[in-house]
């Protein structure tokens, strides 16, 4: 039972354009969402997060949007840079879950072409 899904396994975008990554979840108890970026042979690196009381959070080139009614969130990267080429994971946690354990999506591999 996959509670967090990233339906696009890969995304190719031109440098300077916008990258849009999508994530859907099924567990209505999730109330905190995070995006991580991962390079090969490295651990995930935190990018940006959003609480369920908000619908948007912005940090530099990264913006996360949350649509609770649709159980959907997206990550916008603009402008995309070659260094953004990596695998991006969406993660979620539930308010009553002990210890804030994260449930991850399967990841989206982004390739930014120069």
Partner 1 sequence: NAGVMQNPRHLVRRRGQEARLRCSPMKGHSHVYWYRQLPEEGLKFMVYLQKENIIDESGMPKERFSAEFPKEGPSILRIQQVVRGDSAAYFCASSPREGRGDIQYFGAGTRLSVL
Q: Are 113 and 59 in contact (CB under 8 A)?
A: no
Q: Please, which residue, 52 or 74, has the CB nearer to partner 1? A: 52
- Kindly state the smallest distance separating residue 16's Cβ from partner 1, in Å: 29
- Kindly state the smallest distance separating residue 27's Cβ from partner 1, in Å: 13
- Kindly state the smallest distance separating residue 94's Cβ from partner 1, in Å: 9
- Kindly state the smallest distance separating residue 42's Cβ from partner 1, in Å: 5
Please state, in angstroms and rounded to a whole number, the distance separating the CA atoms of residues 71 and 105.
13
Task: Please give the residue ranges that form the binding site for partner 1 (CB under 8 A).
Answer: 4, 6, 31-32, 34, 36, 41-46, 49, 51, 89, 91, 93, 95, 97-107
Residues 6+ apart with CB under 8 A from 53: none
Q: Please, which residue, 15 or 31, has the CB nearer to partner 1? A: 31
Please state, in angstroms and rounded to a whole number, the distance separating the CA atoms of residues 62 and 22.
13
Q: Please, which residue, 27 or 79, has the CB nearer to partner 1? A: 27
Q: Please, which residue, 54 or 72, has the CB nearer to partner 1? A: 54
Count Cβ neighbours within 10 Å for each residue of 37-73 and write b for 16 or more, e otherwise.
beeeeeebeebbbbebeeeeeeeeebbbbbeeeebeb
């Amino acid at each position: 039972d996959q509670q967090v899904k990233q339906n696009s396994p890969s995304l190719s975008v031109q440098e300077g354009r916008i990258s849009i990554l999508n994530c859907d979840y099924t567990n209505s108890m999730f109330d905190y969402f995070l995006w991580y970026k991962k390079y090969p042979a490295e651990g995930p690196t935190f990018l940006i997060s959003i609480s369920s009381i908000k619908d948007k959070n912005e940090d530099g080139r990264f913006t996360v949007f949350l649509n609770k009614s649709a159980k959907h969130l997206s990550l916008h990267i603009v402008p995309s840079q070659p260094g953004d080429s990596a695998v991006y994971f969406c993660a979620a946690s539930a308010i009553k879950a002990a210890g804030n354990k994260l449930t991850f999506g399967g990841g989206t591999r982004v390739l930014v072409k120069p």
